[in-house]
Structure 1
Amino acid sequence: MDTCFDFQRCERGFKIYVYPPQKGEAPSESYQKILAAIEDSRFYTTDPNQACLFVLSIDTLDRDQLSAQYVHNVRARIQSLPLWYEGRNHLIFNLYSGTWPDYTEELGFDIGQAMLAKASTDMDNFRPHFDVSIPLFSKDHPQKGGEKGYLNLNNVPPLRKYLLVFKGKRYLTGIGSETRNALYHIHNGDDIILLTTCKHGKDWEKHKDARCDRDNEEYTK
């Protein structure tokens, strides 16, 4: 790790610097929540000289070129940062990458020596003890607060009706289709609920299977 991370920057403590937004930048609501969480924490510093870790103000969460949230010219914007240093001591956040139907892990720019905090990373690309695996969260996920958990002491199972709930698209072809089709088998309609819709992509009807109509109906309900 010491070949791509400068530990001397962290000798005075673990501080995180968030780049000020560039002119015309408007991060997504989800990325604003991440930045706000960092800026509200005791690790935040406004002085880059005190920083151990650097976080971009450029929104890199959605790297699907078909998405309205896709930010263009990220490569040029990053290279213009005076403290980039080929990505050393930088942490880049990403939830989505690639474009349907392949969804490759291509971000559209070179992360260099930066660490990657990413959802659904392929095991072949994940670098243990360097990259960070994060959950895929929706834009409606609260930044903080919310109801208290139901787990009291070590009561197992917890006192809640549902153990697992998933609602989302069931890819009929391409990457992810095998995994989500397998999840169907643990749906029991009681405490494990999996609701999926086949309506994904322009030609989803060409790939319809015997479950699609029923699944779409349950998903809508």
Structure 2
Amino acid sequence: METCFDFSRCQKSFKVYVYPQEDGSVPSPSYLKLLNVLLESRYYTADPREACIFVLSIDTLDRDRLSNDYVRNMQSKLQRLPHWNDGLNHVIFNLYSGTWPNYTENDLDFDYGKAILAKASMSDSHVRAGFDISIPLFHKIHPAKGGEPGTTSASNFPLEKTYLLAFKGKRYVHGIGSDTRNSLYHLHNRRDIIMVTTCRHGKSWKDMKDERCDEDNREYDKYDYETLLQNSTFCLVPEVED
């Protein structure tokens, strides 16, 4: 651990330094929300000399090259950071990595060096035990603080909700994960099981769409994501890798 983390920076206190925003650089709402939580916390320090941990202001949550939130030229941006030092004592946050059609798990499209990776959907084969951090995949509109209180109590199980099972998300016409999500329409009965998918993702989806895409897209648009999940007893999490 002493070769990839400087413990001397953390002996006096645990402080987190967040790099200032670059001119003209606007992070995604999700990353901005994450940064604001850190900036408002008791661990934040504006002095990098006091910091145990460093957090980028550059948005690294979505490293899918087809995404609108994908930040280009990350390697050169990292090299310009005054305290980068090959990622020592830095934490990189990531929710999505890789790109269609392979979606390679650890493909962030930049070298994060000795930085700690705080990542969603990490497998045992890629996580560096005792060093990296596995975090949940959170939705863009997930509240940063609090939220509505839950309604579940010990006396109302099984839950009486509109739908028994639901899923709303992307499907992949071909490539990795296609077999799983392309089969979900068989379960969709429009009553208590709602399985709706869309082919609309990426810039060339129309060129590769199959005979079900138009029908699937129409059915997909009938359901609001939040309303659907809030009114479902169970929510399916289908794999995206075969």
TM > 0.5 fold call: yes
Q: Is the 8 A contact 2:27 2:59 kept in 1?
A: yes
Q: Deviations over 1:24-68 (max 9, x none)?
A: 222121110010011122222222222221100111122222333
Given the superposition, is the C-alpha separation of residues 165 and 116 from structure 1 closer, same or farther in structure 2, using an over 3 Å criterion? farther
**Can you give the 5+ residue segments of structure 2 that lack an aligned partner in the other structure?**
223-242
- Mapped pair 1:140 → 2:141: yes
Given the superposition, is the C-alpha separation of residues 65 and 189 from structure 1 closer, same or farther in structure 2, using an over 3 Å criterion? same
Q: Is the 8 A contact 1:94 1:117 kept in 2?
A: yes
Deviation larger for 54-63 or 196-205 = 196-205
CA RMSD of aligned residues (A): 3.0
Q: Deviations over 1:102-137 (max 9, x none)?
A: 222322211001011222334432223222222333
Given the superposition, is the C-alpha separation of residues 213 and 164 from structure 1 closer, same or farther in structure 2, using an over 3 Å criterion? same
The 5-angstrom pairing of residues 1-221 of structure 1 reads 1-104=1-104, 105-152=106-153, 157=158, 165-181=166-182, 193-201=194-202, 202-203=204-205, 206=208, 208=210, 215-221=216-222
Q: Is the 8 A contact 1:119 1:134 kept in 2?
A: yes
Q: Supply the AA of the counterpart residue of 2:210.
A: K
Matched length:
220
Q: Deviations over 1:72-106 (max 9, x none)?
A: 22211211222112111111112222332222232
Given the superposition, is the C-alpha separation of residues 127 and 17 from structure 1 closer, same or farther in structure 2, using an over 3 Å criterion? same
Aligned-partner SS, 2:49: helix
CA positional deviation for 1:158: 5.6
Structure 2: how far apart are the matches of 1:177 and 1:100? 11
Structure 2: how far apart are the matches of 1:131 and 1:28? 23
TM-score, structure 2 as length reference: 0.75
Given the superposition, is the C-alpha separation of residues 206 and 72 from structure 1 closer, same or farther in structure 2, using an over 3 Å criterion? closer
